[in-house]
A and B are shown apart, each in its own frame.
Chain A
Amino acid sequence: MRNFKSISRGFFIHATLIFVSLLSIFPFIWLLSTALKGNSENIFQYPPVFFPQEPTWDNFKGVWNQIPFMLYFLNSMVVAGFTVLLNLILSALAAYPLARMDFKGKRVVFYATLATIMIPFQAIMLPVYLIVLKLHMVDSVNCVMGYLGLILPFAVNAFGIFLMRQAFLAIPKEMEEAAFVDGCNVFQIWWKILIPMVKPTLAVLAIFTFIGSWGEFLWPSIVLTQKTLYTLPVGVNDLQGMFSANWRYIAAGSIIATIPILVFFIAMQRYFISGENDGAVKG
């Protein structure tokens, strides 16, 4: 009896989880199915056909030839890459004194940093835009300035600083004292002793900052005026305007644009699903 109970319970759990999993991927699967259907197939057919009768790559080729995906991909790489790099450096720098040093105004700095967490970007984006304009960091000046405008407003945030601060707090103070006795100056202590010890936290910060920056849509869609600087999300949204009713192309383009982040996710999956890194990123 007990055995029967546990088997039926196991069945119930798997059935539910399989159902949730299907719901999670179905929108993408359906998009893929549509993208693989050729012109001879009616994509609005009733009843809907799940498996394309004559699967074809034509839509992928067609949309690839009309949309500079490689360019959008490179733009996204440049923006996300530098955003990650700056976040790592600036967070690790700022977190060190907050974790380890005594200085005048520490409380003010600490609470001011904390306060920025409570300021949603969406509420201040207009003045941020005005400031970026004043600094000429827009793509109409040149592409380097365009990139700067996309990157600098997100070059550091309080989450990253607090995440690194927690990592520094976990290191025994004796490490620094020993290094000082050995003749290291404070920058050497930071760079040669502490940074190597917080590498796992830096990896977590890098990965979550990358995901956030890669998916960012609101800000690039505000500042960008030229297609040559479009990042992937902006390019994907643009598909809707370019191929208004051609859902085969829109679907194929959306899937092409998703491949890079999918590869990244599969490669780094243990960071996402280990369950130890919650709070590393917040919406």
Chain B
Amino acid sequence: MYKYYKKYVPYLFLLPAAVILILFFFIPFFETIILSFFDYNSNIYSPQFVSLANYTELLKSPIFYKVLLNTFIYLIVAVPFLVVIPLIIAIMINQKIRGITLYKIIIYLPVIVSIVVAAIAFKWLYAQQGILNYVMALFHVDALGWLTDPNIALYSVIIVTIWKGIGYYMMIYLSALMSVPKDLYEACDVDGANPLTKHLTVTLPHLMPTIGLVTTISSISAMKVFVEIYVMTKGGPLDSSKTIVYYIYERAFENLDLGIASAASVILLVIVLVLSIINFVFFENKQYQL
């Protein structure tokens, strides 16, 4: 094809986006790595190069292990729910029944409402004399300190993340379900298969790539969880609900310990990078091909 543009034109189109991405993505990316080799703790105005000392300090501190463990629990607990529940709901909604649109709107509602409001609403449900403990009492279960018991707080926050994510992943499954060939279902009907076998033999195999996609993207967002924790528990009690982003936030903006915060950021970067690469290689390789 002949060229209808001058050589420099593509760069002109790219320039504005490039300025933003360089200024707010690439430079900060490299700066995070550089900062992680400096000590700001002794004197914030004259940082000292300490090579890997921040990392060794992190790996020696029990609190950082606690934070990593919490983040890992977050991922292990939230992801299966976010993969399975939306899938079941999507399959149920994906039929000719009355009120589909209304169901979709209501189930999607938590996705668009501010996470701050959602966290406040749950904090109110979780109150010591709140409605949840009342329901528990009805079933003769002792009142729980949903956000005050160190053994429970993390899971209470995870529930909010799951609750808020269901509608989002449901829509991803629904759009994938649209592409399942209808004649396969008809073949099942001819064979007299019941709905369960129908979904196990037709729907699930077709949705495997989508299930993989939901697994990786919900894992990535579990790694990045922050607001729920900030609004509901501030990482407490006794650091029991502190995850890695909250730890970075606290170290960077409350303790002004820029070196340690950056070292923790690099660790977060590496984990997310691995998850993203898995996602690109296996599940989103079509969309992002040159």
Contact = CB atoms under 8 A, between A and B. Distances in A.
Contact of B117 (A14, A44, A123, A236): A236
Contacts of B265: 122-124, 126
B52 interface: no
Contacts, number: 281
Given A127-B262, A222-B253, 10 more contacts: A28-B109, A116-B26, A120-B220, A124-B28, A125-B28, A130-B31, A152-B24, A257-B117, A266-B105, A273-B108
Given A114-B288, A156-B17, A265 B112 contact: yes
Contacts of A21: 102-103, 106-107
Interface residues of B, number: 100
Contact of B114 (A129, A258, A264): A258
Interface in A224-283: 232-233, 236-237, 239-240, 247, 250-251, 254, 257-258, 261-262, 264-266, 269, 272-273, 275-279, 282-283
Interface stretch (A51-59, A91-99, A139-147, A197-205): A91-99
B235 interface: no
A117 B284 CA distance: 12
Q: Which of B115, B121, B125 has the most CB of A within 10 A?
A: B121
Given A189-B4, A273-B104, A90 B273 contact: no
B49 interface: no
A110 to B, nearest CB: 5
B144 to A, nearest CB: 16
A236 B109 contact: no
Given A89-B16, A117-B276, A156-B21, A215 B134 contact: no
B1 A126 contact: no
A144 B91 CA distance: 48
Interface string B233-254: 0000000000001001100110
Nearest to B221: A283
B5 A186 contact: yes
Interface of A: 9-10, 13-14, 16-17, 20-21, 23-25, 27-28, 30-31, 34, 44, 46-48, 89-91, 93-94, 96-98, 101-103, 106-107, 109-110, 112-114, 116-120, 122-131, 152-153, 155-156, 158, 161-162, 166, 173, 176-177, 180, 186, 189-190, 211, 214-215, 217-218, 221-222, 232-233, 236-237, 239-240, 247, 250-251, 254, 257-258, 261-262, 264-266, 269, 272-273, 275-279, 282-283
B20 A14 contact: no
B217 A265 contact: no
B171 A278 contact: yes
Contacts of B224: 120, 122, 283
**Which 8 A-B pairs rank lowest in CB-CB distance, beginning with the nearest?**
A97-B10, A127-B28, A94-B17, A27-B121, A127-B31, A118-B276, A124-B28, A103-B10
Contacts of B92: 13, 16-17
A269 B245 CA distance: 32
B223 interface: yes
Given A128-B28, A211-B112, A118 B4 contact: no
B124 A94 contact: no
A237 B229 CA distance: 12
Interface of B: 1, 3-7, 9-11, 13-14, 16-18, 20-21, 23-29, 31-32, 35, 89, 92-93, 95, 97-99, 101-118, 120-122, 124-125, 127, 129, 131, 134, 163, 166-168, 171-172, 174-176, 178, 195, 217, 220-221, 223-224, 226-227, 230-231, 245, 248-249, 252-253, 258, 261-262, 265-266, 268-269, 272-273, 276-277, 280, 287-288, 290
Contact of B32 (A46, A127, A161, A250): A127
A161 B11 CA distance: 15
B269 A93 contact: no
The secondary structure that dominates the B interface is helix
A11 to B, nearest CB: 11
A122 B176 CA distance: 30
A126 B252 contact: yes
Nearest to A89: B16
